[in-house]
Structure 1
């Protein structure tokens, strides 16, 4: 039977990628980490890593062991939580979400942490596909997504709707097709998708976003409206991202006649125990986002 302590050391080493930092994370010595890896290799009669200077690479056996071992370690960690103290306002909570909802939610959760300093918020901004993978790989406790899950281990629940908005430079009071084509499109990672959803049902001329000259691009959600505010083009964004922009006098925000919303889902791993602190943060998320929710 594999020693779970050795396995935890090995999986942590793979994730951290450095012996010294792994030792710090596990409150061990570097030699102790190395010894655990050697014992694991001896037990399995397989070489797991190949050292290269100060780094290392995994052998095929090491890759297989990590893939299966991380799930076992997650299960053992959950077991410890189930039988141990389970406070509501204490401990680390890891979350991930797309950028727009993160602009609204992250400051709110920091205010929650300020009220309960022992509750530590670890927040990542990521696209839907990455959020789903983080949930499936037990790397986040809570994930927020605007698309349905494709992995069986990811359990989602719809909590609210986020509206898509057309944003133009100040002075464009009533948007017309001619204005859009003259301005050009400020693109972003979901720009073409969002534009197609909103513009296709409001402008009969729309076929795809390539009809507009591309006058800018940003993959930073909090910067997408900067070029719009300077008159360089228009864009389509979810409402939370628009609300977070501070220079509202420099843009015109339009809710078109035919409104389009994206469903926002909250997700977790289907086979993972839910500690009280995760329940606490989930309730706070719903309190923040569900004023006009489902």
Structure 2
């Protein structure tokens, strides 16, 4: 029969290297330690120790049992913390978002994880429709999507807004729609919708539809779309999160426009569930940091209440 205590005793024995010290640490008798090891060997049907008097070395099965024991108790601690919805700095967070959000949110969360050893994060980069399916299936507790979701089994609330940026090659000299039509458009999964919104707002008399622009290519990875722009292949419209995290920032530039438009990010959870406090803290911390950064760019916060 499986007994986690036998694994606990064995792991402690390997770490201390001594039956006596193991008995002291676990407040057991030394014969009790030996009995636990023998019962674990019987359960696994493999010798775990090569005994040489009072000394021992691990067999191959012993090394594998020790590694398994470490994983077993680490997963146990993660599970135990995950049940505590009131914990701010410990437990597991399972989050999915598009790349446009995750390029900055995921590094922020990793920084929080470095500061709080009890916090673990499983983060997935995915498209919005995949995120909705994963939250519905329980694979992730929280999804971040760029469009509102209406589903009877999901709750969806607006969370944060990022400005849309019209991005052109660094040597682009134009300022109007005609020049943009001349270089063409680089598309990605949300590209047409974002470009339509921004161009319609800023060129109301000239803009009719995205069909006016020659399509210069498509990528399903938003992090890579600015590579094409940097090579002079066309323009695109992305959220500021993408522009600020791009390795091609010096090879592109944002075209200044008079009317701002925004990408609204929405939080998706299963209906009727209360988000644990650790999620709330991560999301509020990131949003607060972004608002402080955006003030430095001269932008104004958007009230989503």
Gaps of 5+ in 1: 1-77
- Give matches, 1:77-92, under 5 Å: 87-92=87-92
Q: Match for residue 218 of structure 2?
A: 217
Q: Match for residue 282 of structure 2?
A: 281
Return the structure number with greater relative CO, CA threshold 8 A, min gap 6: 1
The two structures have a TM-score, normalised by structure 2, of 0.64
User: C-alpha displacement at 1:108, in angstroms?
Assistant: 0.6
The two structures have a TM-score, normalised by structure 1, of 0.66
Distance 1:205 1:136, change over 3 A: same
- Give matches, 1:141-152, under 5 Å: 141-152=141-152
Larger-gyration structure (1/2): 2
Q: Distance in 1 between matches of 2:280 and 2:202?
A: 40
- Give matches, 1:1-294, under 5 Å: 87-203=87-203, 204-291=205-292, 292-294=301-303
User: C-alpha displacement at 1:283, in angstroms?
Assistant: 3.3
> Is contact 2:185–2:234 with CA below 8 Å preserved after alignment?
yes
User: C-alpha displacement at 1:240, in angstroms?
Assistant: 0.6
User: C-alpha displacement at 1:293, in angstroms?
Assistant: 4.7
Cα RMSD, aligned residues only: 2.4
Gaps of 5+ in 2: 1-78, 293-300
Q: Distance in 2 between matches of 1:81 and 1:90?
A: 8
> Is contact 1:160–1:290 with CA below 8 Å preserved after alignment?
no
Distance 1:270 1:124, change over 3 A: same
Q: Distance in 1 between matches of 2:289 and 2:97?
A: 14
Distance 1:92 1:85, change over 3 A: closer
Aligned residue pairs, count: 215
Which 10-residue stretch deviates more, 191-200 or 263-272? 263-272
User: C-alpha displacement at 1:128, in angstroms?
Assistant: 2.4
2:281 counterpart SS class:
helix
In the TM superposition, what whole-angstrom CA distance separates every residue of 1:120-160 from its partner, at most 9, and x where no partner exists?
11111222222223222222122212221211222223222
